[in-house]
Chains A and B, each alone.
Chain A
Amino acid sequence: MQWEVVIGLETHTQLRTASKIFSGASTQFGADVNTQACPVDLALPGVLPVLNRQAVEHAIRFGLAIGAAIAPVSIFARKNYFYPDLPKGYQISQYEIPVVLGGHLEIVVGDTTKVIELTRAHLEEDAGKSVHEDFIGPHGEPSSGIDLNRAGTPLLEIVTEPVMRSAAEAVAYAKTLHSLVVWLGVCDGNMQEGSFRCDANVSVRPMGQEAFGTRCEIKNLNSFRFLEEAIQYEIRRQIELIEDGGTVVQETRLYDPDKQETRSMRSKEDAQDYRYFPDPDLLPLVIDEAWIESIRSTMPALPAQLKQQWQDAFGLSRYDAELLTQDRATAALFEELLLILGKPLAKAAANWMTGDFASTLNRAGMSAADSPLNASHLAPLISRVADGTISNKIAKDIFADLWKEALEGQIKSTVDSIIESKGLKQISDSGELGTLIDQVMQANSAFVDEFRAGKEKAFNALVGQVMKASQGKANPQQVNELLRKKLS
């Protein structure tokens, strides 16, 4: 039997705000336990929530980026359940009417482009954290601890339609979404700190069947690798189960990265009645056109737009355009280079960025945002190659020098000062080159003879010798021309 896989993702994206979604406490990660929980987060008697405007603006920004509708009025509801890390006994979340409706995201898997439809994105608060292991209570007894630093952290839960058909597609979607929310500045994207967590809804059905199979939800996948492994395991598990005559039970499952398997957490029968109702402490969230427009006007150009634009305008390959839009710092650096160098050097700038610059960053384990070299360092390198002052090879050496200085903490040199001090200026003077070529031809008469006997290869050997004699400074094109003239 041929099976078709159906996957939908729910992603909890932590919004980048200074304070929590309903209180003034800081959202900074890594503070001492319970030091970032104010009376509102602790749900002390008498406290009330006040909505963080920044969180709403992030939601709007995201909605605009995916071409979604922004609800003119959306409602915060209470999701009621008891748990020690949920201080109020309810979570404030948007239920019936979310702030972002619809929208879509384009992903690339291999050579194929696919559009992923989104269902909704809604604002909600995070819960605190329960610490069960190695926690000793006040009387020395093994106990559970509650850290409420995270309680009230703003989240945007982004939900897709069940439109993905493989683990690879799910991962591609998650990566694209991740880079988009980071690009937009609405999320810091730090997966280890839990800023971006996925729940995957997975089911299988016989190929061609219209009705969905019974789905399982795998919770809290906080790395792309776990997402892929968990989905792949779950697909295998469900197919084997059905092929062995069993049936899939709708349930929530957890992924164990050590054993690389999912296991049941709770079944649908245990599903709680959350008794949702509109939170009477919060007014309906009203977003007017003016607010939306003010955010639209501050939106950065989106990676998809830039990618297309750069391919069309500068003849960049899709791969290069992809690399240059992998994050906002890379794209910004490229745009700055364009500004300094002008459009005719766009291709050269792109080659630099995707070449030595990218590989150097890679080796250092850095992203463009961490780069100690900026556009004002890189631009002269590209323009000096373009105007023939130095060769590409020399440029690479200068780049290495600059990088070294930057890592040592102080960039003392400029491209020009290095060219000057090391005498790296390309030899383009035909008189000077002519003398040099004459010397090389004398010292390598064997090659000269071979060439004249019809061996084209010998020509290259001669060019190599000239370059070597010039310590790489000779303008290779000129050497070519002069040498040919002299040999003919």
Chain B
Amino acid sequence: MSWHLSSVAMLAKALEAKAVSSTELASHFLARIQAGGRWNAFLDVNPALTMEQAASADRIRADGKAGKLTGIPLAHKDVFVTRGWKSTAASKMLLDYQSPFDAAVVERLGMPSEQNPGGAGMVCLGKANMDEFAMGSSNENSAFGPVLNPWNPACVAGGSSGGSAAAVAAGLAPIATGTDTGGSIRQPAALCGLTGIKPSYGRVSRYGMIAYASSLDQAGPIGKTAEDCALLLSAMSHHDPRDSTSLADSGEDYGRYLNAAWDASASAAKPLTGLRVGLPIEFFSEGLADGVAKSVREGASQLQALGATLVEVSLPKTKLSIPVYYVLAPAEASSNLSRFDGVRYGHRTNEYRDLSEMYKKSRTEGFGSEVKRRILIGAYVLSHGYYDAYYLQAQRIRRIIAADFQTAFAQCDLILGPVTPDVAWKFGEKSNDPLQMYLADIYTLSTNLAGLPAMSVPCGFSQDLPIGMQLIGNYFSEARLLQVAHQYQQATDWHLRQPSEVL
């Protein structure tokens, strides 16, 4: 059977209809993971535990207690700590690290139990590869090797949630979790032809998510369709008292508008009538590849055909989002990563004369070069005498960037633009030029800085590689974003295309 071509919604129906069991699905995907090792999408699998979870999902179903997602397999980005699978954040620093507890996201999606009554009952297939500590845009920064793009193995899968995206694109998992600090869900989703959503900051608990930049990190799903993302996000998002930045009221059905018209004035043929889509001029200017620009504009036209009106808006500080992000994210990272000191867990160098040497050698050996670069930048911008000029100034501009979005949202309901300046690039093309790599995040960084929800939706191809269209909504408008994406996907088939390798 080709269950790996199905969406989560379809698998859920099949499970409900008893056309397939959780155990059969788990075996199917575990076999594909084993056969699909070339993508390097997984860092750890534990087939026995996966099958155990699948069996208990089947029992839950037999008892008539199954929820929408019970028994559906998924992959977790290795940034989430898990019992039973190693949690390395793709770093040598955490080689073989075993967490004594599950991340909140893992709990929410995992098997229900007395301690975890809200568990959605999904079956974990293993841990997905990523850029080390979620720092990167190509997955070339993984200590355990890069992830290959299922659409073209010579190309990067994007990052930092590259393993999650490749796993879904290659049919090794029906859906996966990711995290997005500056585009790490949307960009690999775009480069791999998938749908992914980064919710508003605070929607999903960060407890158990290995922190990169705490004020920007947010978890979300990468799947084949907007509908699948709505299903997973509804299960992931909740208030968690263990995360002080978790929103008080976060439980909602993000799929509630999927099949609804935008407003009362809409007709069946033009369900998005009344929707105002803003196109920021700064997102369609220099640096954007023609092929990408063309497809994204066609995507906008498609929304227009569905009844939406297009308006031009401006996000004047877009360019500044790169320097602002590369001050703030490294600043937080430099502090967040201090705990990896070789004292209590993780890598400790073999030989050292004193404490200072133990620290230096352990961290020098344990961290990769991009991680070291960001720790150094972060320590620098926080240091005495530079703090005001860099950190404080960046915080000020961050507020201006957020305010620019509010100005734009006075004119439109959502903002549409590209996710990336170009399609997936070849390995090594940018890895020697960090600035080039940073520029690739120009369209995604600002939403993290503002804390807004944003998603990536497949909208075409260029050079046989997929292109993502970005939809950015105002705070807490996830259900509306998913509605627009779903309506778009009812009218298009870009999201149904699969790499030839998978078929």
Contacts and interface: CB of A to CB of B under 8 A. Distances in A.
B243 interface: yes
A48 B244 contact: yes
Interface in A287-332: none
A266 to B, nearest CB: 14
A44 B335 CA distance: 14
B341 A44 contact: no
B245 interface: yes
Given A46-B81, A50-B241, A283-B245, A88 B100 contact: no
B103 interface: yes
A183 B66 CA distance: 56
Nearest to A40: B242
Interface in A263-289: 273, 275-277, 280-283
Contacts of B214: 280-281
A82 interface: yes
Contacts of A39: 100-101
A89 interface: yes
Contacts of B207: 46-48
Interface residues of A, number: 28
Contacts of B387: 275-277
A273 to B, nearest CB: 5
Contacts of B213: 280
B229 interface: no
A280 B217 CA distance: 11
Contact of A51 (B94, B100, B244): B244
A373 interface: no
B383 A273 contact: yes
B241 A277 contact: no
Given A273-B383, A277-B391, A282-B244, A46 B335 contact: no
Contact of B103 (A46, A49, A280, A283): A46
Contacts of A103: none
A415 to B, nearest CB: 54
A42 B344 contact: yes
B244 A49 contact: yes
A238 B439 CA distance: 58
B89 interface: yes
Interface string A7-48: 000000000000000000000000000000001001111111
B103 to A, nearest CB: 6
A89 B339 contact: yes
A275 B386 CA distance: 10
A185 interface: no
B341 A89 contact: yes
Contacts of B81: 44-46
Main secondary structure of the interface of A (DSSP, over half): loop
Given A46-B207, A89-B341, A80 B244 contact: no
Nearest to A273: B384
Nearest to A88: B339
B335 A89 contact: yes
Contacts of A46: 80-81, 87, 99, 101, 103, 207-211
A50 B242 contact: yes
B148 to A, nearest CB: 27
Contact of A80 (B89, B94, B335, B355): B335
Interface in B198-229: 206-211, 213-215
A43 B344 contact: yes
A375 interface: no
**Which of A90, A273, A275 has its CB near the most chain B CB atoms (within 10 A)?**
A275
A253 to B, nearest CB: 22
A84 interface: yes
Nearest to A42: B344
Nearest to B207: A48
A43 B346 CA distance: 12
A82 B99 contact: no
Given A89-B335, A277-B335, A146 B245 contact: no
A78 interface: yes
Given A39-B101, A277-B387, A277-B391, A87 B244 contact: no
A50 B246 CA distance: 11
A275 B241 contact: no
B89 A45 contact: yes
B402 to A, nearest CB: 15
Contacts of B243: 48, 50
B199 to A, nearest CB: 18
B338 A90 contact: yes
Given A44-B345, A82-B341, A277 B210 contact: no
A283 B244 CA distance: 7
Given A45-B81, A46-B99, A87 B339 contact: yes
A146 B342 CA distance: 13
A375 to B, nearest CB: 43
A84 B241 contact: no
Contacts of A51: 244
B342 to A, nearest CB: 10
Interface string B346-371: 00000000010001000000000000
B379 A280 contact: no
Contacts of A43: 339, 344
Nearest to B339: A43
B422 interface: no
A283 B379 CA distance: 22
Contacts of B245: 280-281, 283
Contacts of B97: 45
Interface centre among A45, A49, A51, A283, by most chain B C-beta atoms within 10 angstroms, is: A45
B331 A277 contact: yes
Contacts of A87: 339, 343-344
Interface in B370-389: 379, 382-384, 387
Contacts of A48: 206-207, 242-244
A77 to B, nearest CB: 10
A338 B209 CA distance: 60
B332 interface: yes
Contact of A275 (B335, B343, B355): B335
A275 B89 CA distance: 25
Given A44-B99, A44-B100, A46-B103, A280 B339 contact: no
Nearest to B395: A278
A275 B383 contact: yes
A45 B88 CA distance: 9
B335 A90 contact: yes
Contacts of B99: 44-46
Interface in B62-119: 80-81, 87, 89, 94, 97, 99-101, 103
B338 A89 contact: yes
A285 to B, nearest CB: 10
Contacts of A277: 331, 335, 382, 387, 391
B353 to A, nearest CB: 14
Interface in A83-123: 84, 87-90
Which among B89, B337, B339, B391 has the greatest number of chain A C-beta atoms within 10 A?
Answer: B339
A146 B244 CA distance: 28
A43 B210 CA distance: 11
A164 to B, nearest CB: 30
Contacts of B391: 277
Contacts of A90: 335, 338
Contacts of B334: 80, 275
Q: Give the top 3 A-B pairs by smallest Cβ distance, nearest first.
A: A89-B338, A275-B382, A280-B215
Given A44-B345, A275-B379, A280-B215, 15 more contacts: A44-B81, A44-B100, A45-B339, A46-B210, A47-B208, A48-B243, A50-B243, A80-B382, A87-B343, A273-B383, A276-B382, A276-B387, A277-B331, A280-B214, A280-B245
Interface of B: 80-81, 87, 89, 94, 97, 99-101, 103, 206-211, 213-215, 241-245, 331-332, 334-335, 337-339, 341, 343-345, 355, 359, 379, 382-384, 387, 391
18 contacts: A42-B344, A45-B97, A45-B210, A45-B339, A46-B209, A47-B208, A48-B207, A80-B335, A82-B359, A87-B339, A89-B339, A90-B338, A273-B383, A275-B334, A275-B335, A275-B383, A280-B214, A280-B245
